[in-house]
Chain A
Amino acid sequence: MDSLLRDLRFSFRSLLKRPALTIITILTLALGLGANLTIFSFVDTFFLRPLPVQKPYQLATVTATRNAELVWGYAYPEYAYFRDHSQSFEALAAHYSTSPLSVVADGDSREASGAVVSANYFPMLGIKPLLGRFFLPEEDTVPDRDAVAVISYRMWQDRFGGAPSIVGKDIRVNGTDFKIIGVAPEDFRGVSAGFPNEIWIPAMMLRLGYRWCDGLNDLGCRPLTLLGRLSSGRTLADAQAELNLLASQFAASYPENKGRGASISPALGVRQEGRQELSYQVKLLMVLTGLLLLIACANVAGLLLVRGTTRRKEIVVRLCLGAGRGRLVRQLMTESLLLALAGGALGLLLSFWAKDLLLAFYTLGNGTHDRFYELSLNPRVLAYSFALSLLTALLSGLMPALSATRQNLATGLKDDGRAQSSRHHRLRSALVVGQVALSLALLVAAGLLIRSARQVRQGANFDPTHVALLRLRPALLEYSPEKAQTFTREVIRRLEAVPGVQSVSLATGSGGYAWLSRDDVRVRLPEQTGDRPESELEVEYHEIAPRFFETLKMSLLQGRDFNDGDRPGSPRVIIVNETLARQMWPQGSPLSRTLMVNNQPHQVVGVFKDAQPRNALEAPLPFLYLAVWQDPKQIDSRLVVRVASDPQAMLPLLRREATAVDPRVPISEVMPLTQQMEANYVPVLLTSNVAACSGVIALLLSMIGLYAVLSFMVSQRTREIGIRMALGAQRRDVLKLVVGQGMSLALIGVALGLVTAFGLSRVLASLLFGVSAADPPTFALIALLLAGVALLACYLPARRAAKVDPLVALRYE
């Protein structure tokens, strides 16, 4: 203990003695550690953070499986069977936490993020209402009877001004009168991380909250997620075994449930189905910031090697006085540890700022669901900071410590350090090469991602700028299709009359977006028989109105756009993209040909350019457009409005016009199209930003590393440079010598970096839109940029070397 304190005391003194080096080292480590801690705060939120409820580690998420594969959700009868028979769970609740609800209060109609939950949901979580009460068991026993709602603190504040009289107030939810019975605590936003709820209604009102099928009775309708509190002494494995048994018992009575089961996991982080995508993203970000930390460690190791050389005499004296090598290594490692801990603390501060920047990407809404993630500091983040600082101390400090203490005592006290510096020089050179290589890899990744981000913002063969969006949801008011069509046409007519509006159209955007869809139809040629599904093609489709292509500025290759003549009763028409046209009719024009779409004949009236953005791994996909007005079922829509000026500025006016037709119809996704596109490409935009920041920092660090090594080399070689000048070397010869040495390191680094970048870009391929993973211009440009900056980093010490006065250098005599 005493020697540890002595080590600490000496380390403090030693670090304070060289304040400039200490500050540079701490800043370098802080940048590397800060980036990693920022990403870890997201890892924590996505995968490790428990719910803000009582004894959260007792909670477990039950995910449905079929034949051991994870599948989506449970039907209510299945849930009720588990709830009533399970012994492993003290309580088992069901919830559907992504229910868009139209809430009309005091004449104001807005869409809210709702949750349909079983009555035992709140008691199981162990939370108390801020005002009023939660659901009573009897309010969750009869379907569609008890229209009671609990609202969030945020809704209470934002929509009701925090009025104390809120309990008992009537509101209208999806066209039905509800009574507010309570307000949830301020820090409770539901159980689905990333999807904060504003209003909760009982599970028996599921048919109101989930309209696609009858989740209360239909076993094939499975919107519910289960969350349970384990009974005392029961484990996740116990619960899983039991629920699988219950599932097979249930399936014995309901054969359609054969093969279904349950997978139990701790209720931490985000929902199971979001984990895979987030996990890929976060791993990628961890790789990028991990590379940055490696560069920072290499940089610091280089600085510590320099310091080790300047402290050589001190170390030799200590060894001569009897210090063991292990003892000295420990002493030097203590200094590294202090530096890393200081860097870690500063990095943690930096991460507070940086995580807010990144959070902006994760909370980019597409307008359907608000996003919220809790990223506050917690013991896990602190523990991770500490552990990462320890690792950093080891990575950056061990090699310099071992190297500094490897001394020849016989010569150590006599020579001037040059003999050692050649050995150290090789190490330092290797570190610089490594830094340059990793920096280049990061910069190439950043370059590719930035190009990709630009591509997705620009759109692929369409122009998303100057386009505003509005989503009309008459279906939430139970409009009939005919009434909804009349309503929507009237909205379009009014919007077209607004000054500055150039064209208006609509799409159903069944995938959640106005400009693309992720739903499939089956297509085949009429001559192919429909009884062989394998001969049919699954093709993504989009239902659109006339002028959709004009509004998005998509290129018509052949034929015509939809028009008002394409209505119910007229021959069904489709427009195909060039890939589908090529695939179905390799020879000749597809116009006027017939294609069977879900076994219905459709005539091709137009061919458009491929406009689905695809990443570097995907080939262009076949795609077709259906005429929305020919589909009498379709009642919700996403309007696209091309305007002459800034769409953001036009939004209030457009919304007002749409609301004027029927103020009760909820309108959402009121935003510029570019914003919704950004929300769809969050992984690309986020990763490109992180890569760009990491790349710039890496470039800076590696150039500092190169500069430091060359500066040190120049200082060590003053005598040699003097001799060379005395022997006839001129300024340019010395410049060439130093720059040549630096640039040879940089170029080796560039060569290795290109190979590393090639590997890294393969990992990024799924995020690369409109740019190849081996894009030669990006690789060449970044290599040139890095070589250019390296030249500058070499020039400064070289210029100093060229100013060496041979007389001073030779004054050793």
Chain B
Amino acid sequence: MIRLSNIEKAFSHGVTKTYVLRRIDLDIQQGEFVSIMGPSGAGKSTLLHILGMHDQSWGGEYYFDDVAVHLLNPRKRAELRNRNIGFVFQSYHLLDDQTVSENLELPLSYRDVSKKDRQSIVCDTLDRFQIVGKKDLFPSQLSGGQQQLVGIARAVVANPRIILADEPTGNLHSSQGKEIMDMFKRLNDEGTTIVQVTHSETNAAYGNRIVRLEDGWVVKD
């Protein structure tokens, strides 16, 4: 599904260069649950954002379903991303002034889904995540766990083939974290590929593969 070859990312400071990622080669198959681990500053989140096609400035080759992402212009990359990828953030990143159902509707509105279909998909998703009762609440009226649940619901609402999650339980206490990881597991079991960045061995244990990064290098896969 995903093939990274010799991916590098660096920041220039005058004549010197600081590498964040070095010669990353990585294959991710459809249906895998991959955990990217490593110390702070290892390049985990950067790698995730390259996978998610948010980061445009890197070197190397990136193939998504044999499509050469590194050769696509930003617009084509965005189309590819919108068709296939969902995101879950550590800080949930729900929009404060939008209700739960409006937050869920947001990704669909960027994918030219008709209003009628959007409403139907949002209803199904609310039902699936058992948050129908919360649909008219604003994020500030939810607990952290509930907010992250909405964050995951929002990530899957457009039916992505892969979910990229950046420290999804980082802001939650352990019982809420467990619920979230159970949800990821369930999604993975249903066929969605999951790639998560995590510091937690427990969370990594939900997956079937761990990629370890240190100083930008893959040290263990």
Contacts and interface: CB of A to CB of B under 8 A. Distances in A.
Given A422-B97, A810-B93, A813-B89, A727 B78 contact: no
B55 A726 contact: no
Interface string A723-751: 11111111001000000000000000000
Contact of A806 (B54, B82, B96): B54
A731 to B, nearest CB: 8
A733 B166 contact: no
B89 A730 contact: no
B106 A727 contact: yes
Contacts of A813: 45, 89-91, 166-167
Interface in B68-99: 75, 78, 81-82, 87, 89-91, 93, 95-97
Most B CB contacts (10 A, CB to CB) among A728, A807, A812 go to A728
Contacts of B167: 813
B185 interface: no
A720 B95 contact: yes
A307 to B, nearest CB: 23
A429 to B, nearest CB: 14
Interface in B23-51: 45, 49
Given A720-B95, A813-B89, A728 B78 contact: yes
Given A418-B96, A723-B95, A807-B55, A730 B78 contact: yes
Nearest to A723: B93
Contacts of A723: 89, 93, 95
B115 interface: no
A364 B81 CA distance: 71
Contacts of B106: 724, 727
Most B CB contacts (10 A, CB to CB) among A719, A733, A807 go to A807
Contact of B110 (A418, A720, A730): A730
B208 to A, nearest CB: 26
B107 interface: yes
B111 interface: yes
Q: Is the contact region of chain B dominated by helix, strand, or loop, or is it mixed?
A: loop
A733 B110 contact: yes
Interface residues of B, number: 25
Contacts of B118: none
Contact of A726 (B45, B54, B75, B90): B54
A807 B93 CA distance: 13
Given A727-B107, A730-B75, A807 B54 contact: yes
A520 to B, nearest CB: 70
A87 to B, nearest CB: 79
B22 interface: no
A725 B107 CA distance: 9
B91 A726 contact: no
Contact of A729 (B89, B97, B110): B110
A728 B96 contact: no
B75 to A, nearest CB: 7
Interface in B85-141: 87, 89-91, 93, 95-97, 106-107, 110-111
Interface in A786-813: 806-807, 810, 812-813
Contacts of A729: 110
Contacts of B81: 728
A723 B150 CA distance: 14
A727 B54 contact: no
B158 A728 contact: yes
A810 B167 CA distance: 13
Nearest to A733: B110
B85 to A, nearest CB: 9
Contacts of B52: 726
Contacts of B91: 812-813
Contacts of A418: 96
B168 to A, nearest CB: 11
B87 A726 contact: yes
Contacts of A810: 54, 89, 93
Interface in A21-47: none
Contacts of B75: 730
B197 to A, nearest CB: 10
A796 B49 CA distance: 28
A311 B158 CA distance: 41
A269 B55 CA distance: 73
B121 to A, nearest CB: 14
Contacts of B82: 728
Interface string A688-725: 00000000000000000000000000000001100111
Contacts of B158: 728
A720 B106 CA distance: 12
A439 to B, nearest CB: 29
A806 to B, nearest CB: 5
A720 B90 CA distance: 15
A444 B42 CA distance: 63
Interface of A: 418, 422, 719-720, 723-730, 733, 806-807, 810, 812-813
Smallest CB-CB A-B distances: 3 pairs = A728-B110, A728-B82, A723-B93
Interface of B: 45, 49, 52, 54-55, 75, 78, 81-82, 87, 89-91, 93, 95-97, 106-107, 110-111, 154, 158, 166-167
12 contacts: A726-B54, A726-B87, A727-B154, A728-B78, A728-B110, A728-B158, A730-B75, A733-B110, A806-B54, A807-B54, A810-B54, A813-B91
